[in-house]
């Protein structure tokens, strides 16, 4: 059978070739069209978008944090300044692998777990291309290590910034307060634009109260960067406005004298200039080093402060609420005189105890334990103040009633916040029938009035309130809101005075005379202060019970645990004729006023005689 040989079909091959050519051309043209369309989109339609993105990669808007205002005492001694410090930060958008970068950084420099936690919190709130701080206060060696490895750490930035520093540390811990790193709650409350590039904010004290004045206004600069984020040049700059410098009424000499006099004792001292209300000293012991808090205190250091039985973080000067004891007797005397219930010559029999009509209970005078009898057969106002006669003031309190006592004592600054320009001030308690009904839903009993008449029972006052009361006495009724701030950027501030406490001059003089006898009288309860004194002082001692004592029981301090012993209190002002300083002192569990009165003497000596002038 013959075999057929297939012949070549040029026509069919031509058609296949043409079809393939057309398909290839269409495919090429389609792809070219896609490229042209994309090119058109990039160059024409979305030009501005990508131009902006390009500029964002090349040109960065960087915040310039303002310099925090400085704080000085009344003599120009620097109390809070700013020191340069190097900060390790990370720009997330320039880091390929954040976890790997953080691991590398931990191998190069020590980074605490707390720093990492705060970094991630800040990272979650940060804006694009914002440098987020990871480590503060880099050492010179750590900076050198990071500089050597910079080529393999894109997005890692080391920059200088001013950080808060407190040269005197513990001495002004409660007066100044401190700044600390902004936490999540504060970040939600602060204006984000005002705090761009700022990592710290005032936490307590003056630093917090005057945060708006100290902070300043943020600036910014446009800078050109390369692909690694390194700044090549500054294109535009708007300088930040620094925070205002503050001058305080505080006197470092007086502050140091008060702190040294308290020593290891738990207590507080507040000194006020009665002419202006300026706070000359505000001390609470024990204190703490405020520098520990600036960049985040370590867990070990914070636990030591938090768990200490002496509670060093507690500002006793404005937060401590104590029974004022006999320190309120001069104010009680004024209430009696002004109400017309007593005169300076009015006398009360004093057997060493007092009994309410129709009540068998005896309310003892403190002198009964010592002498077995009272201060004298008959006691007048001068003796009652000088020797701190409880019986006299039991009788006066009964005649006044608790509500009139409340109304007369309140203008001295008791039972309400003084308004001093610091944080966390407490109001104390100035009891009344209305107060007890509101606080306890109970009626008031006559025996409670007697306790309140000698500053015990429900009555509580802060050292700041007692200093204000002493200031009102010193100025014969002039009242000022206590003020720490004296001037802003050198411009003096004068706080408007409060409504005066109007009283007859002879009544003021009667109270003055009794308080003068406390120190300079032969039987004054603080007569030991007069030894070697170079001026005249008016004062009033006070002792506040910490634990209750049964009616027939005898208080023996040696048998009482140290923290159950009486508090010692003392208020004073000097010079007697024209006072320029009023002081309140409390010594917790000091056993009595003898622990507090020498401290007041040292504070007043320093103010009037110029002792302890060294500012070192």
The answer to whether the CB of 516 falls within 8 A of the CB of 385 is no
Instruction: Order the strands of the 59-64 sheet from edge to edge.
Output: 59-64, 219-225, 231-238
Q: What is the average per-residue pLDDT within 373-384? A: 96
What is the reported pLDDT for 51? 62
Question: For residue 589, how far is the Cα from the chain centroid?
Answer: 25
In a domain, 4, yes or no: no
Whether pLDDT at 48 is above 90 = no
What is the reported pLDDT for 142? 86
Range of the domain at 265: 252-287+317-488+496-609
Residue 212 and residue 231 share a domain? yes
In a domain, 65, yes or no: yes
Residue 279 and residue 228 share a domain? no
Look at residues 522, 563, 15, 525 and name the one whose alpha carbon lies nearest to residue 265.
Answer: 563
The answer to whether the CB of 452 falls within 8 A of the CB of 397 is yes
Q: Tell me, what CATH number does 134's domain have?
A: 3.90.1310.10
Q: What is the average per-residue pLDDT within 580-604? A: 95
- With pLDDT > 70 as the criterion, what percentage of the chain qualifies? 91
User: What's the token pair of residue 188?
Assistant: 């939600």
Instruction: Give residue-wise pLDDT tens across range 506-519.
Output: 999 999 999 999 99
Positions annotated as catalytic residues are 326
In a domain, 602, yes or no: yes
Instruction: Give residue-wise pLDDT tens across range 413-442.
Output: 999 999 999 999 999 999 999 999 999 999
d(CA 539, CA 603): 13
Look at residues 460, 393, 399 and name the one whose alpha carbon lies nearest to residue 430.
Answer: 460
Look at residues 368, 465, 344, 474 and name the one whose alpha carbon lies nearest to residue 416.
Answer: 465
Residue 108 and residue 36 share a domain? no
Look at residues 236, 275, 280, 279 and name the one whose alpha carbon lies nearest to residue 257.
Answer: 280
Please spell the DSSP secondary structure of 252-299, one letter per residue. Answer: HHHHHHHHHHHTTS-EEEEEEETTTTEEEEEEEES---GGGGTT---H
Q: What is the average per-residue pLDDT within 348-354? A: 95
In a domain, 298, yes or no: no
Whether pLDDT at 612 is above 50 = no
Q: What is the average per-residue pLDDT within 302-331? A: 96
Phi, psi of 259 (to 5 degrees): -65, -45
| Residue 56: pLDDT band with limits 50, 70, 90 | low
The answer to whether the CB of 337 falls within 8 A of the CB of 510 is yes
| Strand, helix or coil for residue 540 | strand
Q: Which of 248, 263, 295 is the last residue of a domain?
A: 248
Please spell the DSSP secondary structure of 456-515, one letter per residue. Answer: -TT-BB-HHHHHHHHHHHHTTT-B---BSEEEETTEE--PPPBPP----HHHHHHHHHHH
Residue 478 and residue 368 share a domain? yes
Residue 398 and residue 384 share a domain? yes
User: What's the token pair of residue 488?
Assistant: 């802003």
> What is the pTM (predicted TM-score) of this model?
0.84
Residue 384 and residue 338 share a domain? yes
In a domain, 301, yes or no: no
| Residue 135: pLDDT band with limits 50, 70, 90 | confident
Whether pLDDT at 198 is above 90 = no
Q: What is the average per-residue pLDDT within 368-389? A: 94
Over the Cα atoms of the chain, what is R_g? 37
Whether pLDDT at 388 is above 90 = yes
In a domain, 453, yes or no: yes
Whether pLDDT at 335 is above 80 = yes
What is the reported pLDDT for 229? 55
User: What's the token pair of residue 28?
Assistant: 């090429």
Residue 166 and residue 33 share a domain? no
What is the reported pLDDT for 608? 96
**Length of the chain, please?**
616
Q: What is the average per-residue pLDDT within 135-157? A: 86
Look at 195 and 203; give whichever has higher pLDDT: 203
The answer to whether the CB of 563 falls within 8 A of the CB of 589 is yes
The dihedral formed by the CA atoms of 452, 456, 457 and 460, expressed in degrees to the nearest 10: 100
How many Cβ atoms are within 10 Å of 42's Cβ, its own excluded?
A: 12
User: What's the token pair of residue 304?
Assistant: 């030591």
User: What's the token pair of residue 565?
Assistant: 């012993």
What domain count does the chain have?
A: 3
What is the reported pLDDT for 340? 96
What is the reported pLDDT for 615? 39
In a domain, 308, yes or no: no
């Amino acid at each position: 059978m013959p075999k057929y040989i297939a012949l070549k079909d040029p026509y069919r091959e031509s058609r296949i070739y043409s079809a393939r050519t057309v398909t290839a051309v269409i495919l090429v043209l389609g792809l070219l069209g896609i490229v042209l369309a994309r090119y058109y989109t990039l160059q024409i339609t979305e030009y501005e978008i990508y131009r902006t993105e390009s500029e964002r990669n090349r040109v960065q808007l960087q915040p310039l944090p303002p310099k925090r205002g400085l704080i000085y005492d009344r003599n120009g001694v620097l109390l809070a300044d700013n020191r340069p410090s190097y900060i390790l930060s990370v720009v997330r958008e320039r880091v390929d692998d954040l976890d790997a970068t953080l691991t590398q950084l931990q191998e190069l420099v020590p980074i605490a777990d707390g720093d990492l936690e705060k970094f991630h919190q800040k990272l979650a709130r940060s804006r694009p291309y914002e440098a987020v701080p990871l480590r503060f206060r880099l050492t010179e060696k750590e900076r050198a290590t990071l500089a050597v490895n910079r080529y393999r750490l894109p997005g890692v930035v080391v920059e200088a910034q001013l950080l808060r520093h407190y040269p005197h540390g513990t001495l002004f811990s409660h007066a100044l307060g401190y700044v600390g790193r902004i936490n999540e709650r504060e970040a939600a409350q602060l204006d984000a634009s005002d705090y761009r590039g700022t990592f710290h904010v005032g936490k307590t004290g003056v630093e917090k109260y005057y945060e708006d004045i100290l902070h300043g206004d943020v600036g910014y600069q446009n800078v050109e960067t390369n692909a690694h984020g390194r700044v090549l040049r500054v294109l535009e700059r708007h300088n930040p406005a620094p925070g205002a410098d503050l001058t305080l009424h505080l006197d470092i000499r007086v502050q140091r004298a008060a702190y040294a006099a308290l020593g290891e004792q738990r207590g507080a001292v507040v000194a006020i200039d009665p002419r202006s209300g300026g706070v000359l000293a505000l001390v609470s012991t024990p204190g703490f080093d405020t520098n520990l808090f600036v960049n985040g205190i370590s867990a070990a250091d914070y636990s030591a402060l938090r768990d200490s039985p002496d509670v060093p973080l507690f500002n006793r000067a404005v937060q401590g609420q104590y029974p004022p004891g006999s320190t309120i007797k001069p104010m009680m005397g004024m209430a009696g005189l002004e109400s017309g219930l007593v005169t300076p010559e009015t006398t009360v029999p004093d057997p060493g105890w007092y009994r309410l009509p129709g009540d068998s209970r005896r309310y003892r005078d403190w002198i009964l334990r010592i002498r077995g009898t009272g201060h004298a057969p008959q006691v007048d106002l001068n003796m009652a103040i000088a020797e701190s006669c409880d019986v006299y003031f039991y009788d006066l309190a009964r005649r006044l009633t608790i509500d009139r006592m409340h109304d007369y004592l309140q203008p001295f600054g008791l039972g309400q916040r003084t308004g001093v320009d610091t944080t966390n001030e407490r109001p104390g308690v100035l009891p009344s029938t209305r107060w007890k009904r509101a606080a306890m839903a109970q009626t008031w009993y006559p025996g409670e009035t007697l306790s309140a008449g000698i500053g015990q029972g429900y009555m509580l006052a802060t050292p700041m309130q007692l200093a204000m009361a002493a200031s009102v006495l010193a100025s014969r009724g002039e009242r000022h809101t206590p003020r720490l701030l004296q001037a802003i950027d050198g411009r003096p501030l004068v706080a408007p005075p409060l409504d005066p406490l109007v009283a007859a001059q002879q009544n003021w003089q009667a109270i003055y005379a009794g308080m003068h006898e406390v120190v300079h009288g032969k039987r004054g309860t603080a007569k030991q202060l007069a030894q070697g004194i170079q001026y005249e002082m008016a004062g009033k001692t006070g002792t506040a019970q910490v634990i209750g004592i049964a009616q027939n029981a005898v208080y023996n301090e040696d048998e009482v645990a140290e923290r159950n012993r009486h508090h010692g209190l003392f208020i004073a002002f000097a010079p007697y004729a024209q006072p320029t300083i009023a002081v309140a002192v409390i010594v917790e569990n000091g056993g009595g006023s003898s622990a507090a009165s020498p401290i007041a003497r040292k504070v007043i000596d320093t103010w009037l005689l110029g002792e302890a002038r060294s500012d070192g």
